[in-house]
Amino acid sequence: MLDRGREIRLTGAVAMALLLGVAVASAAATELPEPAITGRAAVVLDGNTGRVIWERDGDRPLPPASTTKIMTAMLALESGRLDRTYEVSSYAASQAPSKLGLRAGQRMQLEDLAYALMLKSANDAAVVVAEGLAGSVPEFSALMNRRARAIGATSTNFQNPNGLPDDDHVTSAHDMALILRHALEVPGFREVAGSTVKVVQVEDTSLRPVALRSKNRLLNGYFVSVLGKTGYTRAAGRCFAGAAELNGRQVITVVFGATDMWGDTRKLMEYGFSTFDETAPAVQLALEEARRNPPRTAVAKARSPRRRATVVASRSRRARSVATRTASASTKLRSKPSKASRAVARGKSVAQVASRTRAVTQVASRTRAVTQVASRTRTVTQVASRTKSAPVATSAARSTARAKAVASKAARPADRQAKLDTGSRRR
């Protein structure tokens, strides 16, 4: 009986060992290669548990650009004041683009401002939110940082509500993933971040509708719909924080400082979903479909299949029209070569005449210049001649005057003697 018990335990142990061996071998066989991305820092987070699936410098503080507006929109939605309107200050209106172009004195409802943040990435709208909720940008920045600490984002230091460049305005990819994970639980955030278009109202002397369109290319056309926020500054590079759900699994990805933001995000999403048994087949199917039908343009530009077909057909018609006109023109030229030849010959003749005319004009211009120089030379010569003759004439005049004086002196004694002789005769 004891031997039988030992045999049963031994058999069970062997079976468990075999199962563990198969599991380890399966895990080794399905080990995924790391995603090859362009970003300086990135993270893939399990949205259900908060576990880090993969990262590259995930805790490195970097400028987050407009992904900052995830926190700003989250605080706006958490405030419970979505139906209130707030006035645009001159400081808010002076913000750099991207913006709505708001003017001081206008007003907007807080809910519309949240849409402007996430779809348009409006920097002026972010300042209106900050001033409306906290009174000033510094006070709102302090509120953002307190909220980040409560979420667990310990590498974060926000200085403004919009992510415009500031040396002290930083966060990490891991912190931004935590912020986005929390924002997804705030009522209304998914609806705002998941909208492709929205019309908001700006209050001035009257209501002015403004149409907004999302900059998120992965909302449609990808194998999952990715909610998120883009960002770009020269210092930060291209940034994106996004989240997607598939078969009960949620994956959050963040990439900072990328050159291929959309390509990086796709690779990170595919890597994250490939680590789950529930979603890995869907990823493989999507990749196989992409290989069979490679897209002509970047994935997901929010165009419906019908619209894409219309655009392709329109381009084809334009191409055929251009080809037809080109062929017609070529046929005409071949059928009437003499006219074309004469036109070319006339063109050459005109060019030759123009060249000769230019040459004659240049010669005439040079001749006039030479004539002017010769005229000036003659004038100078005459002046010099007059200048030389003037001293000679003066010298001759002086000599003549002296001769006259001498003759006059010589004539004086003869005159006196003649006078004497005349007197004596009279006596």
pTM over 0.75: no
Give the DSSP letter of residue 196: S
The answer to the question of residue 326 being in a domain is: no
- 101: alpha, beta or left? (left if phi > 0; alpha if psi -120 to 50): left
The answer to the question of residue 275 being in a domain is: yes
Closest CA to 110 of 204, 214, 213, 201: 201
Q: What is the pLDDT of residues 27-67, one digit of tens each?
A: 433 588 999 999 999 999 999 999 999 999 999 999 999 99
The beta-carbon contacts of 76-79 under 8 Å, at least 24 apart in sequence, are 76/110, 76/113, 76/114, 76/117, 76/129, 76/133, 77/114, 77/186, 77/187, 77/188, 77/189, 77/192, 78/186, 79/110, 79/133
The answer to the question of residue 25 being in a domain is: no
Least confident stretch, 120-124, 218-222, 225-229, 405-409 = 405-409
Tokens of 134: 């906290």
Least confident stretch, 211-215, 239-243, 408-412 = 408-412
- For residues 154, 145, 65, 168, the Cα torsion angle rounded to the nearest 10 degrees is -80
Rg (CA), the chain: 48
- CA atoms of 5 and 178, how far apart (whole Å): 53
We report the CATH number of the domain holding residue 51 as 3.40.710.10
The answer to the question of residue 217 being in a domain is: yes
Report in angstroms the alpha-carbon separations of 361 from 353, 354, 365.
Answer: 12, 10, 6
The answer to the question of residue 319 being in a domain is: no
Place of tokens 């998914």: 190
Least confident stretch, 133-147, 300-314, 368-382, 396-410 = 300-314
- CA atoms of 206 and 196, how far apart (whole Å): 26
Q: Enumerate the β-bridge partners of residue 243.
A: 227, 252
Q: Is the pLDDT of residue 184 over 50?
A: yes
pLDDT bucket at 294, cuts 50 / 70 / 90 = confident
SS3 10: helix
pLDDT bucket at 126, cuts 50 / 70 / 90 = very high
The answer to the question of residue 376 being in a domain is: no
For 73, the domain range is: 32-302
Q: Check residue 174 and give its pLDDT.
A: 98
The answer to the question of residue 12 being in a domain is: no
Q: Annotated active-site positions, please?
A: 66, 69, 121
Report DSSP letters for 226-238, one per residue: -EEEEEEETTTEE
Residue 198 dihedral angles phi and psi, to the nearest 5°: -160, 140
Report in angstroms the alpha-carbon separations of 224 from 249, 270, 364.
Answer: 11, 10, 80
pLDDT bucket at 275, cuts 50 / 70 / 90 = very high
Task: Give me the sheet containing 107-109, strands edge to edge.
Answer: 85-87, 107-109, 197-203, 207-213
Q: Is the pLDDT of residue 168 over 80?
A: yes
Total tally of structural domains belonging to the chain = 1
Q: Enumerate the β-bridge partners of residue 128.
A: none
Report DSSP letters for 63-122, one per residue: --GGGGHHHHHHHHHHTT-TT-EEEPPHHHHTPPSSS----TT-EEEHHHHHHIIIII--
- CA atoms of 69 and 169, how far apart (whole Å): 13
CB distance 141 to 35 below 8 Å? no
Place of tokens 């909610």: 227
The answer to the question of residue 416 being in a domain is: no
Q: Enumerate the β-bridge partners of residue 237.
A: 233
